[in-house]
Amino acid sequence: MTEQSVRLWGARFRTSPSPELTALSRSESSYFRLVPYDLTSSLSHARELVRAGILTEAEAETVFAAIKGIGADYAAGKIEPTPDDEDIHTFLERVLGERIGVLGGKLRAGRSRNDQAANDLKLYLRDMARGIGSDILLLQQALVGQAEAHVATLTSGFTHLQPAQPISFAHQLLAHAQTFARDLDRLRDWDKRAARSPLGAAAMAGSGIALHPELSAHELGYEAPCENSIDAVGSRDHVAEFLFVTAMFGVHLSRLAEELFLWSSRQFRWIEMDDSYATGSSIMPQKKNCDIAELTRGRASRLIGSLTTMLVALKGLPFAYNRDLAEDKHAAFDTIDALTLVVPAMAGLVRTMYVNVDVMRRQSVDGFTLATEVADWLAKTGVPFSEAHEITGALVRYCEDKNIGLEDLGDDDLAAVDARLLPSIKSSLSPQAAVEARKGYGGTAPDRVREQIARLKTVLESQEEWLSSYSGPVAALKG
């Protein structure tokens, strides 16, 4: 085939593209991961061309067989793009033409690279949403598994990174699990809006040949075609929203990573990492580093950057297809590649970590975390909380002077600060009592934590059902 016949455009030009234009215009190698989605869409488009009378049934069968053969050969590494292939569409049309001759050129009728490109990425993102969602589910399950084992494990909760109040360690773990549950629900919600097919929009005005995009839409697993052909090819808010959801998830991952650093430090000693999920130092033999969490925290910055890239690329575009939109793939692929690596590693780290229960219990009262119990006890006896707060502050100062904890106070110590501090208050001055007292819905009391686990498991079951209910359209290539 000649160079001219490899390109999808060029007859109206008197000269060939310059080397500089060719280099700039050619798709990045990572973009060819969309080949299976483009081929699957071509199967659906071929059926549309039969309905339009462009292809006969016999011709369509030849096209179907060739497309499936190309898919199998590409997956097996038997064919690959050449430097002359500008993009996926050029590559696949070239190979199709090599295999079935001029019949392959008929497939281009009624569609454009504009609606193909939008459709390929949307199908890919819908698939990847399930892959990322499955990894999020594994991370949630790891957190829930640890939480079930540590409902009765007491530790200190923090605000401003200062000891605040005793809590169940399970409650802290579930706080992270709840954010991840919302992240996965955001993916589900995003998918509802993404379930509109751009096929049939052609370049931007719609197709004069592919007149039944609703049929192609259902064949590809969409709910319906896009309502407006310009919107179909010119919008990428579904990409930006996907990147927001994943960036938000990345931020939540980074917050968990930050706590894992602290918990595994010698200063905290709350957890110990399994050797298989930790690294060492090339110079300091004693080191055991939480590199998974560090790499995860670093990747989160890239997820935020990808979202920013997409938003900035969109903000000044006239509303139809513009080549700037090609940035959608770079941003999406970098995000997906990052999450595909870090989320399973984080799930493994959480699942295998060892919790130092005794260390946590000893630290649960450090920093006068029982002070709120004193103020609450006084309030329950009728002391205005403003006064109770002042009395408790004075009691903490007394303990600092004596170098004792609130749990160590005797009757005389209490009376020395305020006569209203009766000996009966001491029944409230233990981490167990403090945790048990937080028995409102969503609180850290063990019974409430167990109920939270049960409710969260129901959410995870629903999420797992959603993940397994979508097989994706690419399976059609193997049929």
Q: What is 78-111 written as a DSSP string?
A: S----TT--SHHHHHHHHHHHHHGGGGGGGGTT-
Closest to 47 (Cα-Cα) out of 32, 63, 33, 31: 63
The two structure tokens encoding residue 191:
């998918």
pLDDT digits (tens, 9 = 90+) for 99-146: 999 999 999 999 999 999 999 999 999 999 999 999 999 999 999 999
As a CATH number, domain 3-109 is 1.10.275.10
H or E element that contains 338: helix 327-352
pLDDT digits (tens, 9 = 90+) for 383-425: 999 999 999 999 999 999 999 999 999 999 999 999 999 999 9
H or E element that contains 154: strand 154-159
Check if CATH label 1.20.200.10 holds for domain 114-206+231-363+452-478.
yes
H or E element that contains 354: strand 354-355
The two structure tokens encoding residue 121:
């990425």
**pLDDT grade, residue 19 (50/70/90)?**
confident
pLDDT digits (tens, 9 = 90+) for 53-104: 999 999 999 999 999 999 999 999 999 999 889 999 999 999 999 999 999 9
CA distance 337 to 347: 17
β-pairing verdict for 224-225 and 271-272: unpaired
Measured from the Cβ of residue 465, the count of other Cβ atoms closer than 10 Å reads 9
Dihedral (Cα; 348, 350, 354, 356), 10-degree rounding = 170
Report the SS3 class of residue 173. Answer: helix
Report the SS3 class of residue 422. Answer: coil
List the domain boundaries for the chain. 3-109, 114-206+231-363+452-478, 371-429
Q: Which residues pair with 197 in a beta bridge?
A: 225
Cite the beta strand spans of 169-240 per DSSP E: 196-197, 224-225
The two structure tokens encoding residue 33:
């991961």
Measured from the Cβ of residue 319, the count of other Cβ atoms closer than 10 Å reads 12
CB-CB contact of 467 with 133 (8 Å): yes
Measured from the Cβ of residue 454, the count of other Cβ atoms closer than 10 Å reads 9
CA distance 232 to 471: 24
| Sequential DSSP letters for 191-233 | HHHH-EE-TT-TTTT--SS---HHHHHHHTT-SEE-S-HHHHH
Instruction: State the chain's mean pLDDT as an integer.
Output: 95
| Sequential DSSP letters for 102-136 | GGGGGGGTT--HHHHHHHHHHHHHHHHHHHHHHHH
**pLDDT grade, residue 14 (50/70/90)?**
confident
Check if CATH label 1.10.40.30 holds for domain 371-429.
yes
Say what percent of the chain tops pLDDT 70.
Answer: 98
CA distance 409 to 387: 20
Closest to 280 (Cα-Cα) out of 289, 293, 268: 289
Phi then psi dihedrals of residue 467, to 5 deg = -65, -35
CA distance 7 to 15: 13
Quote the distance between the C-alpha of residue 73 and its chain's center: 32
Query: Which residues have a catalytic role annotated?
Result: 160, 281
